[in-house]
Amino acid sequence: MATPRARALTEAALRRWPLPALGADADKESRGHVLVVAGSREIPGAALLAATAALRAGAGKLTIAAPEPVAAGLALAIPEARVIALAETRAGGFHASGCEALAPIAEGVSALVMGPGMLDEARSVLFVRELLPLFRHSTLVLDALAMSVVHEGAFAQPVVLTPHAGEMAHLSGLAKEVICAEPLAVAREAARRWNACVALKGAVTHIAEADGAAWRFDGGGPGLATSGSGDTLAGLIGGFAARGLPPLQACAWGVLMHARAGAVLARHYGPMGYLARELSAQVPALMHALERRR
């Protein structure tokens, strides 16, 4: 039997996956709590980009956990968030002891976004591995170095992985050329092997689930290939997951809203030159326009 092709991810597909309805008396608790574990001394802005995006996607509550040297700055930069300072390693990563500080809030977290801006891969992966069981009832969105935990084996909880081709090469051991030549097959195999929803990012993004279901999105623009863009996408996916969407749907909403935000900015600035920090602000209007058309 021939392997089924990926389905096209369009606005029509999202209209079949509506965002959870909110009543007139809905409060922030009903829109979910996102925890963003991200940042480092060298890349503190990654946490800011992901956290802002989660709120722009409509999440109701936000907590940021960041290495102690940058936590105070993040608290000032995003006053909407609770910020928890975690111990860092000598190389600037997350120390495994930081799990103790996050355990008290684990039960109330709907979605956990982890990885943007992380340093010290080996030690940070130990931290991620220790943290996963605490958040077994949350949807996890793993990006950047946090994805290296896949080397420990398949997940036993809902997980979204967001690698680009270079990161997928590091995670899978495949040559980047192989990944670029067969992205759909690679995404499907990775999703099956790791029991996760995998968004393999690129000029064309392929989203695959462990059961082989797959979607293809080719509506992005070259301007999205810019520093911080992936951090914003991870935050958007986390925000939609916090609102109650399952991993595939949260990933699809994040990918499409991220691209449509880029298209809005491209019309204003040109196809390249807009900034990742400008993407999130476009999302609420795009999101609500799509919901109205539904």
Q: In whole numbers, what is the pLDDT of the chain averaged over residues?
A: 94
The answer on pLDDT for 82 being more than 50 is yes
What's the pLDDT band for 27 if we cut at 50, 70, 90? Answer: low
DSSP letter string over 173-220?
Answer: ---HHHHHHSHHHHHHHHHHHHTSEEEEBSSSEEEE-TTS-EEEE---
pLDDT of residue 1: 45
What's the pLDDT band for 31 if we cut at 50, 70, 90? Answer: confident
Q: Give the residue among 10, 14, 7 at the shortest CA–CA distance from 219.
A: 10
DSSP H helix total and E strand total for the chain:
11, 10
Instruction: Give the pairing of strands 205-208 and 197-200.
Output: antiparallel
What's the pLDDT band for 47 if we cut at 50, 70, 90? Answer: very high
The answer on pLDDT for 5 being more than 80 is yes
